[in-house]
Amino acid sequence: MNWKKISLFLGIAYAISWLTAGVIYFGGIEYGNGFSLFLVACFYMPAPALSALIVQKYIYQEPLSDIGWKRSGINWRWIIATLFLSMFFVLGTLGVVWVGGNILGISSLGTLDFTEDGIIQKLVEIVSAGNPDLPVDIEAELEKLPFAIDAVPLILISFLGAIFAAFTVNLPFMFGEEFGWRGLLMKETHQLGFLKSNLLIGTVWGLWHAPIILMGHNYPEYPVIGVGMMVIFCVALAFPFAYIRIKTNSILGPCLMHGMINGTAAMTLYFTWGGHSLATGLTGVAGLITISFVALVIALSDKAFVKDYPKL
């Protein structure tokens, strides 16, 4: 393994991203406003891909095709499977909340409410939280709609929107991360094997998020604990992401999965009431249980893949 190359890649990626976070923090820019999101989108998120490009092509002068940059040979059947697996992350998370909260009464997971009244109240809560001075009576406007607000169509529409976004607006931003993590870093660490390689990738991927997590991203009420949660979350995700990267034979696979997760994570909020912010939702304990289950199924059901991983 070329630890010098790996260290150089991580050093450049972290330097660009964390320097951007430093500009936001020390520049007194409120995290979450338009300008901060612009800086994150344009400089923080693309840093892993930019670092991979610099290290792979210009420093080591090796082909980009070795780390996933190719337009031919993509397994489109697995691309479709990627979309469905991404949907399962959300549906599985809702299932965990339903079993744990609604059936077993674990209060920290919250409870699910799929009724029209419940969904309307939740939508009002979400919109009002983002627009406290909104003069429109949101609930009254929703009740005027000529159709019923039903859970199943809402979920289907959300999934269709996420698929469209994953192939379009989300794709370049997800490439900004995935060309680094599932491109160069995965290529340079696969000799460690399925377990150790993805434990390493997930850890550095999670820690890379630390500055923006501390500023309120994903876990605004628990920024310090949130860093640890993000590391665990990324470690869990690293295994299915690696599987999809190999099965699709392209960096496009993990890019789409990443985009789908970002596009559907908020869907659990439409139906979930109560619960602890670190427990419920896709980025909470409920989501970790679902993602870890998928990782375990991969490891147990495709033992040949796991065995041959160092040779891939």
In tens, the pLDDT along 79-117 reads: 999 999 999 999 999 999 999 999 999 999 999 999 888
What is the residue whose two structure tokens read 């420093």?
Answer: 59
Yes or no: say if 159 and 264 are a contact pair by the CB < 8 Å rule.
yes
Q: Rounded to whole angstroms, how far apart are CA atoms 215 and 210?
A: 9
Residue 297 clears pLDDT 90, i.e. is over it: yes
In a domain, 38, yes or no: no
In a domain, 98, yes or no: yes
Domain count, the chain: 1
- Give 252's strand partners: none
Element containing residue 112 per DSSP (H, E): strand 111-112
- Overall average pLDDT of the 183-188 stretch: 96
Looking at residue 13, its pLDDT comes to 98
Looking at residue 118, its pLDDT comes to 84
Mind listing the pLDDT tens digit for each residue in 186-213? 999 999 999 999 999 999 999 999 999 9
In a domain, 31, yes or no: no
In a domain, 86, yes or no: yes
Selected residue with higher pLDDT from 269 and 74: 74
Q: Rounded to whole angstroms, how far apart are CA atoms 206 and 181?
A: 11
Looking at residue 178, its pLDDT comes to 97
Residues 111, 116, 118, 121, CA torsion sign = positive
Q: Rounded to whole angstroms, how far apart are CA atoms 67 and 85?
A: 23
In a domain, 85, yes or no: yes
pLDDT band at 137 (very low <50, low <70, confident <90, very high): low
Q: Rounded to whole angstroms, how far apart are CA atoms 255 and 265?
A: 15
Looking at residue 200, its pLDDT comes to 98
pLDDT band at 132 (very low <50, low <70, confident <90, very high): low
Residue 136 clears pLDDT 70, i.e. is over it: no
pLDDT band at 134 (very low <50, low <70, confident <90, very high): low
Residue 175 clears pLDDT 90, i.e. is over it: yes
Residue 39 clears pLDDT 90, i.e. is over it: yes
**60-65 CB contacts, 8 Å cutoff, 24+ apart:** 60/5
pLDDT band at 286 (very low <50, low <70, confident <90, very high): very high
Helix, strand, or coil here: 273? Answer: strand
Q: Rounded to whole angstroms, how far apart are CA atoms 174 and 213?
A: 18
In a domain, 107, yes or no: yes
- Overall average pLDDT of the 113-140 stretch: 72
Q: Rounded to whole angstroms, how far apart are CA atoms 310 and 197?
A: 9
Nearest 10 degrees: CA dihedral of 30, 35, 38, 43?
-70
- Give 112's strand partners: 272
Looking at residue 142, its pLDDT comes to 63
Nearest 10 degrees: CA dihedral of 284, 287, 293, 294?
-130
Domain that holds residue 150: 74-311
Nearest 10 degrees: CA dihedral of 235, 240, 242, 244?
-160
**pTM: predicted TM-score of the whole model, two decimal places:** 0.92
Looking at residue 96, its pLDDT comes to 97
Mean of the per-residue pLDDT values of the chain: 92
In a domain, 97, yes or no: yes
Helix, strand, or coil here: 45? Answer: coil
Residue 47 clears pLDDT 80, i.e. is over it: yes
Looking at residue 1, its pLDDT comes to 87
The CA angle 219-221-227, to the nearest 5 degrees, is 40
What is the residue whose two structure tokens read 């169509």?
Answer: 153
In a domain, 198, yes or no: yes
